[in-house]
Amino acid sequence: MAKKTLEFEFEVNFRLIGIATSMQDYKFCHYVNSVLNLELKRIEDRVIHDFKANSYYYFNQYYAKNELDKLEFYLIKNKAHSKRLLEELNIMDFLLLIAGEPFDDYITSILRKVRSLSNVNAVKEIEAKTIKQIENLIIDEDTF
């Protein structure tokens, strides 16, 4: 019998910024709130099931909504124990996912402000379409 493969293509309606820092998530979240004038709050962990290892991994995440610009912000820790949410971004400690349609100038401003924080080693916008594990970033609307 022929083997059949089912492929999914996800619609990407967000911008993604990778951030490398040694700060703990709660402390980094506080600084991000300060420089971006957000009110990120801890929400339910993002749960990923690794079928090969038959294990579940829990990634801390924070959420804020900007009603004026119709944007949603998710600050997600990219590491849970030895597992990465996005393996190909293994040097990035956090992912800032911005859902909605932010202007390029807005993203540039965010990059500049986050880069200005002490203990931030790298900040880079990531082209979401290039992420192999994009399904790990799909937003579950039931989370909040």
The reported pLDDT for the residue numbered 80 is 86
The reported pLDDT for the residue numbered 55 is 85
Those residues with Cβ within 8 angstroms of residue 80's Cβ, 6 or more apart along the chain or in another chain = 48, 57, 58, 59, 60
Task: Provide the mean pLDDT of the chain.
Answer: 84
Residue 37: pLDDT above 60? yes
Question: Are the beta carbons of 78 and 59 closer than 8 angstroms?
Answer: yes
The reported pLDDT for the residue numbered 88 is 74
The reported pLDDT for the residue numbered 62 is 96
Strand order in the sheet with 14-21: 41-50, 55-66, 71-77, 94-99, 14-21, 120-126
The CA distance from 33 to 116, in Å, is 13
pTM to 2 decimals?
Answer: 0.83
Each residue's pLDDT tens digit, 40-89 = 999 999 888 878 778 888 889 999 999 888 999 999 998 888 887 777 77
How far CA 105 is from CA of 15, 62, 101, 110, 112, in Å, comes to 13, 23, 12, 9, 11
The stretch 116-133 carries a mean pLDDT of 86
The reported pLDDT for the residue numbered 138 is 67
Each residue's pLDDT tens digit, 5-26 = 655 555 667 899 999 999 999 9
CA 53 to chain centre: 23
The reported pLDDT for the residue numbered 143 is 42
